[in-house]
Structure formats: C-alpha cells, structure tokens
C-alpha cells in the first residue's frame, strides 16, 4: 500500500478527488480503490455513481500513477490531460452506494513527448468496466499552458 496522501499525488483538490487509496504501484501499472459514498459531486439521488464516472475514476488512477512516479523520482506532481477514451464498456448503468471499486491501469504506451495510453479495468461485485485512455502530460506543463493561452492583442 502506498502511504502518500492522494492530495500530494493528484493535481485535484477537495471533492474532486474521487479515489480513496493507491493500493499498489510499479513502473508499469497502478491499482487503486474507492468506496462509493452518497453525497458526492456526481452521485445520483440514490447515492449511486453513474457508470460514465468510471472514466474519471480511471483517469484519476492514471494521474495517481504519474504522481507516484514523480514522487518516487523526487519531482513535483504536474498537471496532465485526458485526451479521450476508446472502447469504454461497462456492464452496469451505475455503481451502487457502498460498492467497493478497484481500478487497475496498465501503461501500454508512453513517449518522450508526454503522450500515453493506458489499459484500464474497473471492477466491483457484479461490476466490470474497461477503457483505453489516451493521456498527455507535457514535459514542461507550465510553459505549455503559457504558450497555449490566447495571445495578447490590442483591442483599440
């Protein structure tokens, strides 16, 4: 089990941190878990989470993977971007309140420019979801964001 607080591994804060714990991590993969609790930002009236939130749970697991790698190497945790997912499949419409969910993200591709692909599985009692996530973490994210912003132009 990883003991680093999630707030130190993810570029998220407060209620936006949806996973509860990193269970295991190595150079190629991460295992995370959470318990579905009513009252969160994305919960339905019955306390369940819509299945589409599974993509965010997978993305946060990938972000935690990047955060663990950064911490392990003594580097700061940096912002990354979910570019999209392919083949998101889930056998349920929602994850019931009280469900214990486990997410496994396996790195299948990562290049020096920050592009990556992860094969992700989310499981729980009677629950199985899978997706391939395409992610991007620019090598110098601060410079990237500054360059990507709108250019100053005179409005006179």
pLDDT value at residue 138: 78
SS3 (DSSP) at 144: helix
Q: For the stretch 78-91, what's the b/e string if a residue is b when 16 or more beta carbons lie within 10 angstroms of its beta carbon? A: bebebeebeebebe
Residue 155: pLDDT above 60?
no
pLDDT tier at 1, thresholds 50, 70, 90: low
Q: Which of 131, 83, 77, 126 is nearest to 103 (CA)?
A: 131
Query: pLDDT, tens digit, for every residue of 86-138?
Result: 889 999 999 999 999 999 999 998 887 889 999 999 999 999 999 999 999 87
Q: Please report the sign of the dihedral spanned by the C-alpha atoms of residue 85, residue 2, residue 51, residue 10.
A: negative
pLDDT value at residue 140: 64
Residue 38: pLDDT above 80?
yes
pLDDT value at residue 144: 57
Query: pLDDT, tens digit, for every residue of 46-102?
Result: 999 999 999 999 999 999 999 999 899 998 888 888 999 988 999 999 999 999 999
Greater confidence (148 vs 137) lies with: 137
pLDDT value at residue 111: 83
pLDDT value at residue 7: 86
- What are the φ and ψ backbone dihedral angles of 69, each rounded to 5 degrees? -60, -45
Question: Is 0.85 surpassed by the pTM of this model?
Answer: yes
pLDDT value at residue 110: 84
Q: Which of 100, 113, 105 is nearest to 63 (CA)?
A: 105
Domains of the chain plus CATH, in order, are 6-148 (3.10.129.10)
Which residues, 6+ apart, have CB-to-CB distance to 7 below 8 Å?
13, 17
C-beta of residue 71 within 8 angstroms of C-beta of residue 63: no
């Amino acid at each position: 089990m990883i003991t680093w607080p999630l707030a130190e591994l993810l570029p998220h804060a407060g209620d936006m941190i949806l996973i509860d714990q990193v269970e295991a991590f190595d150079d190629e993969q991460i295992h995370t878990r959470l318990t579905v609790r009513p009252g969160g930002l994305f919960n339905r009236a019955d306390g369940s989470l819509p299945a589409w939130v599974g993509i965010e749970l997978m993305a946060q697991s990938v972000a935690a993977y990047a955060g663990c790698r950064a911490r392990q190497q003594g580097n700061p945790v940096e912002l990354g971007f979910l570019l999209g997912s392919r083949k998101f499949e889930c056998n349920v419409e929602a994850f019931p309140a009280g469900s214990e969910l486990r997410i496994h993200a396996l790195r299948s591709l990562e290049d020096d420019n920050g592009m990556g692909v992860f094969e992700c599985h989310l499981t729980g009692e009677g629950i199985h979801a899978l997706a391939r996530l395409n992610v991007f973490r620019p090598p110098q994210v601060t410079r990237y964001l500054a360059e990507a912003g709108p250019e100053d132009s005179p409005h006179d």
